[in-house]
Amino acid sequence: MKRNTMNFWIDLILFIQFILVVFTGILLREFPVDLSGYTILGVPRKEFADLHWMLSLLMILTIFAHLMFHWGWVKAVSVRKLRIGPKVLAVSVIVLLLMSMVVAPVYLTKDLPDKQNPQAEIFKPGLSSESAGQDT
């Protein structure tokens, strides 16, 4: 397949994924968790949430494919506008990617309630296993 044809299909898929991610995101926002017993178009909210998540992950992969096809343009612009070489650009992209893979999950889950391990409560330091189960 020619490069232009492949680029066209990647861009079209990316556009469709974007529209679907926005659509499912709006549905999830307007379809609160309180109404999770109801359905939209016969589909429960959890299914829309799963679809939204999968579409978002696929969209990220498609964005990487899009950037790979445009890497020559990215290099040319970075040299001309940012005055950095291709090696520095590649290292910067890799570092940003790795940082986002570590920081994003931590940042996105910071407001979630803490999951307490019931076993951790039983075996606290200073408590014996017999007295840990008793209320004091």
Alpha-carbon separation of residue 101 from 105, 107, 114 (angstroms):
7, 11, 21
Q: What is the pLDDT of residues 37-89, one digit of tens each?
A: 778 888 888 888 889 989 998 998 898 889 888 888 888 888 888 888 888 88
Q: Containing H/E element for 104?
A: helix 86-108
Q: Tokens 């020619």 correspond to what residue?
A: 2
**Which range has highest mean pLDDT (14-18, 42-46, 79-83, 124-128)?**
14-18
Give the confidence band of 13 by pLDDT, cuts at 50, 70, 90.
very high
Nearest CA among 49, 52, 63 for reference residue 13: 63
Checking phi first, is residue 83 left (phi over 0); if not, alpha (psi -120 to 50) or beta?
A: left
Q: What is the pLDDT of residues 84-115, one digit of tens each?
A: 888 888 888 888 888 877 877 777 676 666 65
Cα Rg of the chain (Å, integer): 24
pTM to 2 decimal places: 0.62
